[in-house]
Amino acid sequence: MKIQTHSDLSDFKFEEQFRDMTMDPALFTHEAHIRLAWIHLRRYGEKEAIRQICTQIKQFDHHHGNGTKYHETMTVAAVKVVQHFISKSKVSSFSDFLSEFPRLKTHFKELLDQHYSVNQLIQPEAKTTYFEPDLLPFLCKSNEIDSQNR
C-alpha cells in the first residue's frame, strides 16, 4: 500500500518513521506537525515532548533539506499550543482531536499571534533559541525547557 498522507500511518509508525527520518518529507505537512506534537505530548509529557520534537525536527530538516527551515521558538510554541488544547480534550484519536479543535489546522498562525508579535518571531536568534511570548505568556514556565540539551 502506497502511503498517500501521514494519516495512512498508525501513531506508532508515524513516530517511528519521523524519528528514523524514513518518512517522505512530502507527508510532513502542517497537520503532521500538529500530530507529531499530539503523539509526543500524550506519550512523554510536555518537557520530554519538547526536547524530542526539537531534536527530531532539526535532524529531519538537515537530512531532507538544507537545515534552514527549523525555528526553535515556533516549534516550542507550537507544542505548547497543542498542549493547551490537549488539556481541554476528552478524545483519544488525532482525527477526533482535530475535529474537536479545527483552529489548530485552519488558524494556527492566529493562535501563535495571540502570544507573539511579529517582531519577536522574526528575530534571527528566535530560530535557534526559545523566546518567551511577548504578548500573552504560556501557562508552563520556560525554565522547564533546557534548550542547552537539544
Cα 96 to chain centroid distance, Å, stands at 18
What is the rounded distance in angstroms from the CA atom of residue 136 to the CA atom of residue 143? 17
| DSSP category for residue 28 | -
pLDDT at 48: 98
Closest CA to 37 of 69, 6, 65, 2: 6
pLDDT tens, position by position, for the chain (150 residues)?
678 999 999 999 999 999 999 999 999 999 999 999 999 999 999 999 999 999 999 999 999 999 899 999 999 999 999 999 999 999 999 999 999 999 999 999 999 999 999 999 999 999 999 999 999 999 754 334 333 333
pLDDT at 1: 67
Burial pattern 32-41, b for ≥16 Cβ within 10 A else e, equals bbbbbbbbbb
Residue 55 CB coordination number (10 Å): 13
Whole-model pTM: value is: 0.89
Which residue type sits at 5? T
pLDDT at 2: 78
What is the rounded distance in angstroms from the CA atom of residue 86 to the CA atom of residue 84? 6
Q: Is 62 exposed, middle or buried (0-12, 13-18, 19+ CB in 10 A)?
A: middle
Closest CA to 129 of 147, 111, 105: 147
